[in-house]
Amino acid sequence: MSDKIKIALFDAKDYDIASFEKANAEGVYEISYFDDKLRVDTCKLAEGFDVVCVFVNDDVGHEEIDKLYGYGVKLICLRCAGYNNVEIEYAYNKIHVARVPAYSPYAVAEHAMAMLMTSIRRIHKAYIRTRDFNFSLSGMTGFDFHGKTVGVVGTGKIGRVFIDICKGFGMNVLAYDKFPNPEFGLNYVSLDEIWEKSDIISFHCPLTDETRYLVNSESIDKMKKGVVLVNTSRGALIDSEALLEGIKSRKIGAACLDVYEEESDLFFHDYSGHIVEDDVIARLISMPNVIVTSHQAFLTEEALGNIADTTLNNVRQFFAEGKCDNELCYVCNKFSECQRTHNGKCF
């Protein structure tokens, strides 16, 4: 039997397999790729593996953690930065969890701007029209970005790249962060000011109990008429039904959504030809001023390469060096005081 470290990679897509095979070209690890998402009923696939590797829409709740722990899995590697799908506190003292804290802030920030430009300059409409030799400009009027006010919620790695891009367009940037950093030289304001003064609002903060439904009917009421919302962060930052109402009442001018609160059973799959049961996403997609992409902001060659390299490096560090710089635990998370005193690990 091989003594290689065994990795079970869930929710594996062709691009994941390509990037992980490249990163593991020397065959250091034995990687098995599973189409299935990690769910209670698919945990069994991880029996006999040392590492489980998951992505944004896999469930890593207490039931899955119990099962994986029972199967002897030592490490859960997230192929992403956000970890709202993991019950971190429950995993503590059972299974270590590591993530890829940054793989390409440019990929996500550039996608946010691409969606914004597509939406406001009607590129998606023009593409379809001109393919049909319809060269009419009716209904194609956009607006200049130059001089507009953009509110950026979350000024971490992605938010700051997005801000730089916006500054390149000559936009006025207002920023909000729970932990503002004076060294970034940004114009930090309150959330209410973001709602009240922004022509465009882009979200780049994590999904937490505090940020869930940050956009709701109350915050929408405070926004400017015609505001454009861009969400490349996590779907549940926005109450989708309130968003729909805001669009129907013409309060919201446009929405660019790379994420959706109920995306986990929809995104990354081909449902063309099926009857989609989710009326909210169906209605949102039917709107002329809503653009939806299926959580693809991260999807660049550079980002995929960095995700695979960092994930395998997390595995290598964990097993070979007895530590893991990218480990996550609820102590790190909640109190920022985890000293990683257990041989460089969190517990």
Q: Token pair for residue 123?
A: 């590129």
Say whether residue 232 binds ligand NAD (CB under 6 A).
yes
**38 neighbors 44 (Cβ within 8 angstroms):** no
- Cβ proximity to ligand NAD: between 46 and 97 the closer is 97
295 is catalytic: yes
CA-based nearest residue to 120, from 141, 142, 137, 144? 142
Q: What is the rounded distance in angstroms from the CA atom of residue 324 to the CA atom of residue 309? A: 14
Helical residues (DSSP H) of the chain, grouped into ranges: 14-23, 62-70, 88-91, 105-120, 123-131, 157-168, 191-197, 217-222, 240-248, 279-286, 301-316, 330-335
| Residue list 293-332, contact with ligand NAD (CB under 6 A) | 295, 297-298
Q: Is position 206 an interface residue for ligand NAD (rule: CB under 6 A)?
A: yes
Of the candidates 264, 261, 254, the residue with the CA atom closest to the CA atom of residue 230: 254
Residue nearer to ligand NAD on the CB measure, 49 or 267: 267
Contact 50, 5 (CB under 8 A): yes
Closest listed residue to residue 15, CA positions, set 257, 295, 314, 325: 295
The answer to whether residue 261 is catalytic is no
As measured in angstroms, the least distance from the Cβ of 197 to ligand NAD is 17
- 183 forms part of the interface with ligand NAD (CB under 6 A): no
Closer residue to ligand NAD, CB minimum distance, 145 or 298:
298
Contact window for ligand NAD (CB under 6 A) among 57-65, 131-139, 232-240, 311-319: 232-240
Work out which of 69, 143, 156, 224 binds ligand NAD, going by CB under 6 A. Answer: 156
Output the furthest CA–CA distance in the chain (Å, rounded): 68
Estimate the crossing angle of helix 105-120 against helix 157-168, to 10 degrees: 40
Q: How many residues bind ligand NAD (CB under 6 A)?
A: 31
**Does 158 help bind ligand NAD (rule: CB under 6 A)?**
yes
**From 43-51, 120-128, 148-156, 307-315, span contacting ligand NAD (CB under 6 A):** 148-156
**Shortest distance (Å) from residue 68 CB to ligand NAD:** 23
Annotation says 129 is catalytic: no
In a 13 Å sphere around the CA of 99, the CA atoms on its Cβ side amount to 17
* Interface residue list for ligand NAD (CB under 6 A): 81-82, 102, 105, 108, 153-159, 176-179, 204-208, 210-211, 232-234, 258-259, 295, 297-298
The catalytic residue positions are 234, 263, 295
